[in-house]
Structure 1
Amino acid sequence: MQQTPDELRHIEALLDFYAGSGVDCFLGDEPADWFELTRQQAEQRHKAHPPASQPVSRLQAGTPMPQAGVLAGGYQAPPSGAPMAGGQGTASGQSAVLPDREVIAAARDMASSAASLDELRACLEAFEGCNLKLTAKKLVFADGNPSAKLMFVGEAPGRDEDLQGKPFVGRSGQLLDRMLEAIGLDRSAAYIANVVPWRPPGNRTPTPQETEICKPFIKRQVELVNPDVLVFLGAASAKTLLGVQDGIRKMRGRWMTYPVGGRDVAAIATYHPAYLLRSPLEKRLSWRDFLAIRQKLQTGAER
């Protein structure tokens, strides 16, 4: 039976949805009870690695975090196979963790211990406190020039970024490249990162808990890059790092400051390239923002 044009468009939209959600294989002929499979896997992990007698999430306030095994920058990581803070995760079969205050504190201590971007990346690769790591294919740390005076910060990686392990490499990243080219720059003149370095399933918005857990790492990343101009791609990254509550329409195009290493860095928010793909008429406003960014770089703050 031949489908109508409307039916074909619905099928195409459904396939796009599946692709964006990470579905990259055919379904089986028989239904699978994923709840039962998950329960069986949890029982197997429980038998292989019984939970500690006193999980970190139930310790009294002020109790020091367990420490064992030193990683780059002095971070104290649990030994291989040991439960992680706030949950039952292990290095060889990690399960979800409870995003409690102890996990956030561990992320803060871990990020502050990194003395270089390489150490910070190693810390993130070893960090087991964010559940997004369970579903993501790769860590999406950064791209571009770490010595650049210009730094972009987005919210979270998408499907293409998850596959390649680099931020802004899909359609929105290609648009960002063209926007940089329009002001005479390319990725060698910028450093690009995200607040959340792992792709949320189905490209959903990161939860406040996930953002809070990842926040110390992006703050430390900005400190280590120490740019002259910091650009927030979308309102989410600006709200996370600046603590503002304004929407992107009210915030964009307005110069603000972000404290880095004892000095105030010029900061500006502009539309996320993904939004511009959906709303091309707004590109004229982003063009104004990028012209202002170019002018700020030319006349900008001394390092």
Structure 2
Amino acid sequence: MSLSDPAPPDEASPYELLSWYAEMGVTEALDDEAHDHFAAPAQRAAPARAPGQPLRLAASRPNAAAATAPDDATQSARALAREAGTLEELREALAKFEGCALKATAKNLVFSDGNPEGRVMIVGEAPGADEDRIGLPFVGRSGQLLDRMLAAIGLSRKEDVYIANLLPWRPPGNRTPTPQEVAICLPFIQRQIELADPDILVCIGAPSAQGLLGFKGIMASRGKWVEYDTGTRRIRAIATLHPAYLLRRPLDKRLSWRDLRALRAALEGPAQAS
């Protein structure tokens, strides 16, 4: 029976059934016999061979999840990021980039917020549910706390600070980004920092501090000044605790307050040389 043949009164047509399977996300057809699809190919039983039939080797097929795929995506990200001459061009390049699987599950690209001309650039970890829905970084509870923290040292998101994330797409369930996801997206945030060209870089949270500054462990590295090479000059950089962590551990706000005071003092000091 073809897809166009009419189905019996009590049965769905093959076309309707296939359409339903597609909407439900079915991508493979299974037969009646159970198979262990996670078993190594060598562990599966070989099909019976008739006597006298010549032995033939199965042709190898390319694996879509080959280990070289992330490397290809990272190289593509580097090329696209380097071609972007402005922040708007970088945003457009990210919108077209298909090398990160997070894009398929996210609702929106979360590129930036604040003032690109601000002296301070803040880089967080990745968008959360609120950020993914609205398309702006740090707009949920942690973002509201961040705004209050900045206001405590006389900084405004709209005027003094430019805000972005290590990853522009939300990881499902707000999980921590994988090293592979960070490696793929890293060229974009590095180029974003270069184009924004701030005087001071503030990395918020462990993934941002590790990905951009090479720090191991946020508690041991927060509050320490290092130099970050933007690609055009070297600027001062510091890591601090993520507001989402502070909402869970309010007693550690005293540590972030020390970091904020250090940031304020750095801004009041001599301007960084270009």
Distance 1:149 1:87 in 2: 44
Task: Work out whether 1:172 is the aligned partner of 2:172.
Answer: no
Q: 2:93 maps to which residue? A: 123
**Matched-pair contact (CA < 8 Å) for 1:99–1:210:** no
Task: Work out whether 1:298 is the aligned partner of 2:268.
Answer: yes
Q: 2:25 maps to which residue? A: 38
Q: CA RMSD in A?
A: 2.3
Which residue identity does 2:150 align to in structure 1?
L
Query: What is the CA-CA distance between 1:162 and the residue it aligns to?
Result: 0.3
**Matched-pair contact (CA < 8 Å) for 2:81–2:93:** yes
Task: Work out whether 1:201 is the aligned partner of 2:172.
Answer: yes
Q: 2:106 maps to which residue? A: 136
Task: Work out whether 1:232 is the aligned partner of 2:203.
Answer: yes
Distance 2:238 2:69 in 1: 30
Which residue identity does 1:243 align to in structure 2?
G
**Matched-pair contact (CA < 8 Å) for 2:225–2:236:** yes
- Aligned positions of 1:61-76 closer than 5 A: none
1:278 aligned to 238, 242, 248, which one?
248
**Quick one: structure 1 residues 36 and 191, their matched pair in 2 at CA, closer, same or farther if it must change by over 3 Å?**
closer
Which residue identity does 2:237 align to in structure 1?
A
What stretches of structure 1 of length at least 5 have no aligned partner? 1-32, 44-85, 89-96
Q: 1:161 maps to which residue? A: 131
Q: After the TM superposition, which segments of 4 or more aligned residues of structure 1 sit over 4 Å from their partners?
A: 33-36
CA offset digits 1:154-190 (Å, max 9, x no partner) = 1100000001100000000000000011001110210
Distance 1:282 1:272 in 2: 10
Task: Work out whether 1:185 is the aligned partner of 2:155.
Answer: yes
**Matched-pair contact (CA < 8 Å) for 2:115–2:162:** yes
Q: 1:75 maps to which residue? A: none
1:146 aligned to 89, 92, 116, which one?
116
Q: 1:16 maps to which residue? A: none
Aligned to 1:140, the other structure's residue is in SS state: coil
Distance 1:207 1:99 in 2: 15
**Quick one: structure 1 residues 34 and 178, their matched pair in 2 at CA, closer, same or farther if it must change by over 3 Å?**
farther
With the length of structure 2 as denominator, give the TM-score of the two structures. Answer: 0.75
Identity across matched positions, percent = 57
Q: 1:217 maps to which residue? A: 188
Distance 1:273 1:216 in 2: 25
Which residue identity does 1:199 align to in structure 2?
R
Higher gyration radius (CA):
2
**Matched-pair contact (CA < 8 Å) for 1:99–1:213:** no
Q: 1:30 maps to which residue? A: none
Which residue identity does 2:172 align to in structure 1?
P
Q: 1:55 maps to which residue? A: none
CA offset digits 1:140-167 (Å, max 9, x no partner) = 0000000111000011000000011000
With the length of structure 1 as denominator, give the TM-score of the two structures. Answer: 0.68
Query: What is the CA-CA distance between 1:268 and the residue it aligns to?
Result: 0.3
Distance 1:87 1:98 in 2: 10
**Quick one: structure 1 residues 36 and 254, their matched pair in 2 at CA, closer, same or farther if it must change by over 3 Å?**
same
Aligned to 1:261, the other structure's residue is in SS state: coil
Query: What is the CA-CA distance between 1:263 and the residue it aligns to?
Result: 2.1
**Matched-pair contact (CA < 8 Å) for 1:195–1:218:** yes
Aligned to 1:185, the other structure's residue is in SS state: coil
Distance 1:137 1:296 in 2: 37
**Matched-pair contact (CA < 8 Å) for 2:194–2:232:** no
**Quick one: structure 1 residues 136 and 210, their matched pair in 2 at CA, closer, same or farther if it must change by over 3 Å?**
same
CA offset digits 1:231-267 (Å, max 9, x no partner) = 00012111111223x2111101110110123421100
Aligned to 1:38, the other structure's residue is in SS state: coil
Distance 1:98 1:128 in 2: 16
